[in-house]
Amino acid sequence: MTQAPHVTPKALDPQVLRRETDQTALRFKTTADLKDITGLIGQDRAVDAIRLAASIPHRDFNVFVVGPAGTGRHRAVDRLLRTEAEKRAVPCDWAYVNNFDAPHKPHALRLPPGTADRLKSAMEELVDDLTIEISAAFESEDYQTKRRAIEQEFGQRHEDSFADFYEAAKKQNVAVLHTPMGFTLVALLNGEIIKPEAYEALGDTERDAIDAKVEALQQQLAEILQSIPGEEKEHRARVEKLHADMAEQIVSTQINQVKKQFADVDPIQTYIAAVRQDMAMNAELFLQARHGGDNNTFPGAIVKYHSLPLFRRYAVNVMVSHNGPRKSGAPLEKEILPTLGNLTGRVEHESEMGTLQTDFTLIKPGALHRANGGYLVLDARRVLTEPLAWEALKRCLDNKVIAIASMSEFLGLGMTKSLEPDPIPLDVRIILIGDRMLYLLLGLYDPDFGRLFKLQADFEDDVPRTSRNLQLFARVIATAARHDDVRPLTAPGVARLLDQAVRLADDSTRFSLNLGALTDIMREADFYAGAAKRSEITRDDIEHAVTQAERRASRIRDRSHEMIKRDTILIDTSGAAVGQINGLSVLDIGTFRFGQPTRISARVRVGAGKVVDIEREVELGGPLHSKGVLILSGYLAAKYALEAPMSLHASIVFEQSYGGVDGDSASSAELYALLSALSGVPIQQRFAVTGSVNQAGQVQAIGGVNEKIEGFFDICKARRLTGHQGVLIPASNVEHLMLRADVVEAARKGSFQIIPIKTIDQGIEVLTGLAAGQRDKTGQFPEGSVNARVEAKMRSFAEMRKRFGRIAPEGEAQ
């Protein structure tokens, strides 16, 4: 039988391995020649969503900004919202004031912009002025005269009552004696007090007359004494009325001035009326403050009486004030620590005599108060990780009010009496910034999320590598250079930075929009340019920055590769072996990733058609890796020995792998190892393989192709490049290549090759040097081909299973 022609895919041309930016296409000498760019490139979809969220008046059109870090999400949100905020009116001020009827329920005042601070200052001046004026009024001669008149009137009334009584008693020969026990009445005889023996010597008629007189006078005295409390009460009332009248007069005069300042603000008029009544009733507070306030001041110093604790009842606790030079514009707030208290506000407490006390002046505003009427930007992950912050935010958005509650009250665990401040109406647009995973999880597990956050601003990871985007990206770099105050970049330097943007995109046809990573490189390159005393950042500076960043992060990679070079980890780069192949994986260490060759081995024997994934059996294999192994079973069952049951028992393992394995990028390498084990044809170890496979035998694209190639190249280079070594990659990954310059140079010299593979048959031909073989019209593979040998082995397993089926091990099908 004629063998199918041996076809070997060609190695890629070096020009395909690294498509560098043509610096002549940039059309400038340095970035100093370029104008700033105000917007972002390639983010029209996300920008439109943010603008809609900022402009639409309807509620619940909050927006979740998603995308990878470094794409300029925060900067774009800040710029767009600031522009929209400037078009809106300044929102109202808010302040808490005392509720004189129920102090634990302070009132919230909604005030015109800039009014809250004015009201606070006016009330402080009012308290200071009243303290001085009321004290002066009560020390005045007019007050003293009126007070003396009242005292004299009631004093004279008491004296007249007792004088009349004394005169009546004297006329009846009865004396009034003052004793420690009170008043005592005794009879007189000849102007002298009757002694007991004299009294006993009197006749009954005389004694009865004396007793009757004394008893009548005692009754009269009792009536006089009983009238004294009423008179004292009347006295106090007269004094209090005097105080109230004087205080009312002074308070009215001063408060009328305050009322005139805020004549057009109804909430203040209502509040001032309550203040007026309370001040008139509590004039003694001002006298106490005046007496105690002067004791602790320097001579001539102005005493701020309003700061005394007893005047907190008249304070104005400003929650939000839009006072200042800004005449228009809504607030734009960012809360970097979105705890429950920082979001919705909190009620603080003070320790006093061993107990915690609070009042309305200790209410502190949160980010929602400051952003009310405008925009609030929050980091989604931080909100979700702060206890109860997410639930409190949703509750405020649902109810359209800001209700201040402590964590214990929120959970229903409050055991002590606290304040119940009026809730403040909420009108705010929330902008959450997070990654795509958080967005998907919230949409999946939180039923309120989609209702409250109706908009998604999805930032692109990259943009097409077009000539227009090339020029725009150069302007982005120029703008970033001026913003970060670094030296201008030369055109070659920009070209090298753009090449790095391509590398970060993992696609030679696109630029990565990870501007954060690019500006980090640019700033480090600026340092090297300064050290070399250059006025511009050159290509060499950018290259040095990239190299040094890789060097700083590559300790684990270097140690891993060192272990391979010392044969601690077994990786062959020459020779051939049956059922053994070099697979490639990518390890992520923070922001650095590198390729790592791994030996994959396969062993086969007769069995019940099972391909054992040893990684999965020991729970080291992830679901994607397990899926790739199961695909191998489907490929083998559908391609070989179709007339016989699959009677294979195979095991596949990543040798010397002691951690988790996931992903299906090694499934093609695992299949090659299986085909080699079944056919007995050795695989050339000078090759490494990456790529996933489907059940039809097509090799599919994978991620991290550049790092995987470079990982195997570094091992081959350390052992000496022979000119025959290389890496097999999926043909669909060719457009993703942006390899290091030294790898491209080795390919140009013919000492290393990268071979694109479309099918498993192509790959096995390259790896074994034998034709894979295609079925002819009779359905047979060419004799001697790899596929023919695999099929023969599969048939022999089926025959062996048939012969020994009756004594098959327990657990296998008979």
Which residues carry out catalysis? Answer: 665, 708
What SS3 class is residue 772?
A: coil
Helix, strand and coil content of the chain, in percent to the nearest 5, comes to 50, 20, 30
Question: Within 13 Å of residue 811, how many CA atoms lie on the same side as its CB?
Answer: 3
Closest C-alpha to 433, from 451, 450, 457 = 457
216-218-223 Cα angle (round to 5): 100
For 141, 147, 248, 382, 584, the CA distances from 242, given in Å and listed in that order, are 14, 8, 10, 61, 98
**Cα(719)–Cα(721) distance, rounded to whole angstroms?**
7
**Cα(793)–Cα(454) distance, rounded to whole angstroms?**
60
**Cα(809)–Cα(608) distance, rounded to whole angstroms?**
10
DSSP string, 556-576: HHHHHHHHHHTTSS---SSSE
**Cα(392)–Cα(408) distance, rounded to whole angstroms?**
13
- Give the other-Cβ count within 10 Å of 475's Cβ: 17
- Give the other-Cβ count within 10 Å of 649's Cβ: 19
720, two tokens:
């000496």
105-108, long-range: CB within 8 Å, 24+ apart, which pairs?
Answer: 105/419, 105/420, 105/421, 105/422, 106/317, 106/360, 106/363, 106/419, 106/421, 106/422, 107/271, 107/422, 108/319, 108/421, 108/422, 108/423, 108/424
**204: β partners:** none
End-to-end CA distance of the chain: 35
- Give the other-Cβ count within 10 Å of 82's Cβ: 14
Phi-psi region for residue 50, left (φ > 0), alpha (ψ -120 to 50) or beta? alpha
Q: Residue holding tokens 């009108």? A: 427
DSSP 274: H
Q: Residue holding tokens 């994959």? A: 600
Q: Residue holding tokens 């990733």? A: 593
695, two tokens:
């059940």
What SS3 class is residue 796?
A: helix
Is 81:54 a contact under the CB 8 Å cutoff? yes
270-131-281 Cα angle (round to 5): 50
Query: Identity (one letter) of the amino acid at 242?
Result: L
Query: Identity (one letter) of the amino acid at 524?
Result: E
218-219-225 Cα angle (round to 5): 85
459-732-468 Cα angle (round to 5): 45
**Cα(178)–Cα(222) distance, rounded to whole angstroms?**
14
Report residue 6 CA to chain centroid gap: 60
Is 625:611 a contact under the CB 8 Å cutoff? no
- The distance between the two most distant Cα atoms of the chain, rounded to a whole number of Å, is 171
What SS3 class is residue 600?
A: strand
**Cα(601)–Cα(652) distance, rounded to whole angstroms?**
6
Axis crossing angle, helix 760-768 with helix 786-804, rounded to the nearest 10: 100
Considering only CA atoms, give the Rg of the chain.
47
